[in-house]
Chains A and B, each alone.
Chain A
Amino acid sequence: MNFFATTGVIALLSIAVSTLGLALLTHSNEKRRRVYDLHDYSKLHLRKVFALLVCAPLPFLLFFGRWPALIMWLMAICLIGWWLAWRKPVKLTQSEVHSGDKV
């Protein structure tokens, strides 16, 4: 079987695409930026595009019937989404951390 058509590779590619989308969604999340006093991204209107990027692998996996890759992708984005949301925004300094108390 072609290496690039194996379940593992397809799942990893799908996860990579969705991770990019999730990272952008996390970075541009309005509430997250407001809470951490970061520059407002709300005017960019790209959040729907980012959300589509997260879901982009879904139609391909469904169309080609790659069920193992589909299930792995679904579960992996839960894990990666958690990890990305858990992290503090990059620009945040130690003194800014305590501003979280205001929320």
Chain B
Amino acid sequence: MFKLKKENMKRMLGVHGWAGVALGLLMYVVVLTGAIVVFGHELGEWSISGADHAPLTEGIDDNLRRLAADVPPEHLEDVALFMTHEGYIKAFFHTHKAKDGGGPVQDFGTLFKFNPETGEVVSKQVGFSSELSRDPSSALERFLVLLHVRLHVPGKIGLYLTGILGLVLLVAAVSGLLLHRHLFKEMFLSPRIGKNRALTARDKHNLAGTWGLPFAFILAFTGAFFSFALSLGLPIIAITAFEGDQQKAVDTIVGVPQQVDDTPALMASTEWLFRRAEAKERAPVIFATITHWGTVDAKVQTLHDISDGQLYPKSHVFSMATGDYLGTKPRLGKVPSTGNALVNLMGVLHFGTFAGLLSQLIWFSLGLATCYVTISGIRLWIKRREEEQPLWFFFRQCTDYVAYGLPIACVASAMGFFYGYPKANTFDYTVNGFFVGCLLAAGVGLAHIVFGRTAHVVKTDVLEHVRAHQLHTVPMYEIGLGVLLFALPWVRMLASGTGWGDLFAREHVDVIGMDLALSVAGVMFVYSAYKRTRKHVDDAALHDKSHAVLSDARAGNGVGSMMRNEQSEPAGA
């Protein structure tokens, strides 16, 4: 497609390869966890064996009025309402202020967690939003989301890092596009399957990369945008247009009104307003904010699930004092704009949750395809150098370790969550589970490095045999991952005591679906390991046989004997 000079081609290959090798493994971590968190909400509900919650509209008004009377007046400036996975409602009555020692402005207030049916307050906390304890039921989802968004690196550095990784993916995609001279001619050509494994691997990488290009562009651009928008874009806007006042910049971008009338007024029913919003949007309310509670300027703003045919959710605004409908509220600014539409579109393209299960499945599969392209690319790069420079051997082990170790650690983190859930300490156990998974995978990798390197140096037949047949790492990782994935639904059932019969009765087919998907994935990994090992053993046997024939020929039996041996081999051996 693009004709580059030979020198430029070499340079471009260098950019493509080194970009992948330098940051490819981190990119893989971000992309794989991104693919998993496409199902983040479903994962959250599955992790607590399905939530039996009523809609946010049920039983909220009386509880809200009761709780509003129980907080300091300054905390009535803003109220955020949302539902937990367990079916409780969280109401955060708060104001905005900086800590005593200075620093950025944060939400400070009273957080209630209550049962909407009985009105029982389960917990009450007062403090800054960053210091309030999180909901234990969201630990697994939150852990995976933070791993994707900032690799658990604190502060803005994590966002910078994932932003850079997005740009690296963009560089790899552009250089890959320029490198592929026959993109359209070869996009329907299946990988050549022959004795030259490197060629087959390159074909597979090229094919997956070609078809995955549009998604890689979208993912890289939108991912980099979301990482840099808050960490870099907002401070720059604040410095250039708001004299460094970030809060003022946020208020202007979001469209927060500056003048507020504090005259007391009676509040309309929240439930009534929510129902009207749901009727307009034809989708349930999933999040709401109420500003300036108890004043004539009090407004409720609803955020809805995405209704069929829509790309992104709309927000509706009502006056709490009069009950009047005030219109829709764009995500950015006060009136609809191109900038708002573009930001919404970027969200749609990045998250892939806009059309339910079908769009989630497509985004998940494309995410896995991008992971495949990343790992296969790194392996190709290493393969060409491994024989000459032994250091690449270790990097190859690292690649296999990260490629399989990450999913193993994610499954282990889910197991940790199940262990910690009855103890109400899911956050610690989820992290611990992840590290146990990392150690498990590292054990497999280290065993291979130790035995593999020893065999490489000593070159004894026994160790070569161990290296070639028994300690081939990828099947071992696959078996480990397969077994853990298959075991995960059973661990969930044992930990929660909720079997499929109970889930059927409570109409939680999604949880059963997730159990089945995990089990099938587990079986597929074990089968893949079996197939891979079988092929490896067959190839080794063929190699041994041809080696014996050659030795026989060298020993003096002549070429005729060698040919006779070849002819006597069964077809397809």
Chain A residues engaging chain B, CB cutoff 8 angstroms: 1, 6-8, 11-12, 25-26, 29, 31-32, 35, 66-69, 71-72, 74-76, 78-79, 81-82, 84-89, 94-95, 97-98, 100-101, 103
Contacts and interface: CB of A to CB of B under 8 A. Distances in A.
B194 A85 contact: no
B354 interface: yes
B191 interface: yes
Contacts, number: 101
Contacts of B309: 1, 6-7, 66, 68
B193 A97 contact: yes
A68 B214 contact: no
Contacts of A69: 355
Contacts of A101: 192, 194-196, 199
7 contacts: A1-B309, A31-B189, A68-B355, A79-B365, A82-B208, A85-B187, A85-B189
A68 B215 contact: no
A94 B359 CA distance: 37
Given A78-B212, A79-B366, A85-B190, A95 B358 contact: no
A68 B359 contact: yes
A75 B214 contact: yes
B510 to A, nearest CB: 16
Contacts of A71: 311, 348-349, 354, 359
B356 interface: yes
Given A11-B358, A68-B354, A81-B187, 11 more contacts: A7-B308, A29-B189, A31-B188, A32-B188, A68-B311, A74-B214, A76-B362, A79-B365, A88-B190, A95-B571, A97-B194
Contacts of B188: 25-26, 29, 31-32, 84-85
A78 B362 CA distance: 10
B308 A6 contact: yes
A94 B348 CA distance: 44
Interface of B: 185-196, 199, 204, 207-208, 210-215, 308-311, 348-349, 354-356, 358-359, 362-363, 365-366, 369, 571-572
A71 B204 CA distance: 26
A32 B208 CA distance: 16
A78 B209 CA distance: 10
Given A12-B358, A75-B363, A94 B572 contact: yes
Contacts of A26: 188
A19 to B, nearest CB: 13
A81 B195 CA distance: 26
Contact of A72 (B191, B196, B355): B355
Contacts of A88: 190, 193
Contacts of B369: 79, 82
Contacts of B207: 82, 85-86
Contacts of A72: 355, 358-359, 362
Contacts of A32: 188-190
B572 A86 contact: no
A88 B365 CA distance: 21
Nearest to B356: A8
A83 B310 CA distance: 29
A75 B362 contact: yes
B288 to A, nearest CB: 24
Q: What 8 A-B pairs are tightest by C-beta distance, nearest first?
A: A82-B211, A101-B194, A100-B192, A29-B188, A68-B355, A26-B188, A100-B194, A85-B188
A6 to B, nearest CB: 6
Given A7-B308, A74-B214, A78-B366, A100 B358 contact: no
B193 A11 contact: no
B556 to A, nearest CB: 31
A67 B356 CA distance: 14
Contacts of B308: 1, 6-7
Contacts of A82: 207-208, 210-212, 369
A16 to B, nearest CB: 13
B356 A85 contact: no
Given A66-B309, A75-B366, A97-B194, A35 B208 contact: no
A12 B87 CA distance: 33
A81 B204 CA distance: 13
Contacts of B349: 71
A89 B356 CA distance: 34
Contacts of B355: 7-8, 11, 68-69, 72
